[in-house]
Structure 1
Amino acid sequence: MSIHNSDKAPEPVGLYPHARQVGDLLFLSGVGPRQRGSKEIPGVQLDGDGRIASYDIEAQCRSVFDNVRMILEASGSSWDKLVDVTVFLTNMKDDFKIYNRIYAEYFRDNQPCRTTVEINSLPTPIAIELKCIATI
C-alpha cells in the first residue's frame, strides 16, 4: 500500500492522504471544492459567523472535479480510470439538477458507477464532496 498526495489539490483538513493505492486500485479520500493555499471556497459566500450565506453549486462542482483530476494525476492515474464515484450533496432538492448536468459534461466519455446521497453538512462550508475509486 502506498500513500499519494498532490501538491496542487487542497490540503486535507485532517490526518489523511489525498489517496491510497492498494494493488492496482486507487482510493481517494473525500474531495471538496476548496483550493490549495486559500481559505476561500469557489462559489461560496460566508456570513460573519463563517456560515454559508450563499453558494454557487456549479462553481463548486467544477472545482471539485478539477481537484479530483489533480489528485488522480499526481497518483499515477487519470480521469478516464475512475470506476466508482460517491457524491455527497447538502441540498439534493435544489442542487441535483445542476450537479447532474455538470457531471454529464465531465463524465461524457468515462462513465464510472455513481451514487449520490444527500447529507446534512460537511466538515467545511461546502455543498459537495466526492469519494472516488480509480485504477492505476
Structure 2
Amino acid sequence: MNTGIQAPGAPRPVGRYPHARRVGELLFLSGIGPRDPATNAVPGNVQDAEGRLIGYDIELQCRSVFANVKAVLEASGARWQDLVDVTVYLTDMARDFAAYNAVWAEYFPDPDDAPCRTTLGISALPTPIAIELKCVARIATQATGGE
C-alpha cells in the first residue's frame, strides 16, 4: 500500500502532487525547495525594483531546503537519519557547489553515516530557487508482538 503525505510544516507543492509517498518501508519525497512555509518567500533572494531576481544566498537556501526536507520527513514518520539517497539540483554548479557542499558537511559530518548523493547542475527550476532536493528515506517498521 502506498500513501501520499502532505506536510503542514513544509511549503505547499507548486503542482498537484504530495510532499511524499510511502511505499512499504520506503519514503519518496517530491522535489523540495527552500521556500519559507509561512510566507512562500525564497530566503536569500534579492530582487530589483521590478521584481526581477538579481542575486541569492545559496547558504541560506541550503539551510532552508534542509529544514523543509526535515519537516516532510517528520510529518511522514521519518527522521533526518533515515535518508538513504538524495539527488541535489543546483542552478549554478560552478558558483554554488562549494558553499552547498560545506553546508552538507555540517548536516552530515560523517560521510559513512550520510545518505548517498548525486548533485546535478541544471539550467532552471520551476520557481526562482537555486537548489532543490529529491530524497528517498527508509522508515523502519515497528516490530509487533512480544519479544
> What TM-score, normalized by structure 1, do the two folds share?
0.96
Structure 1 stretches of 5 or more lacking a match? none
In structure 1, what residue type is equivalent to 2:17? Answer: Y
Partner Cα separation in structure 2 for residue 49 and residue 108 of structure 1: 41
Alignment of structure 1 residues 55-66 onto 2, 5 Å: 55-66=56-67
SS of residue paired to 2:22 = strand
Identify the residue that residue 40 of structure 1 maps to in structure 2.
41
Q: Size of the alignment, in residue pairs?
A: 136
Identify the residue that residue 71 of structure 2 maps to in structure 1.
70
Q: Which has the larger radius of gyration?
A: 2
SS of residue paired to 1:88 = strand
Q: Displacement, 1:50? A: 4.0
1:113 maps to 2:116:
yes
SS of residue paired to 2:101 = helix
Partner Cα separation in structure 1 for residue 49 and residue 6 of structure 2: 33
> What TM-score, normalized by structure 2, do the two folds share?
0.89
Structure 2 stretches of 5 or more lacking a match? 140-147
Alignment of structure 1 residues 1-136 onto 2, 5 Å: 1-109=2-110, 110-136=113-139
Where does structure 1 differ by over 4 angstroms across 4 or more consecutive aligned residues?
Answer: none
Q: Displacement, 1:111? A: 0.7
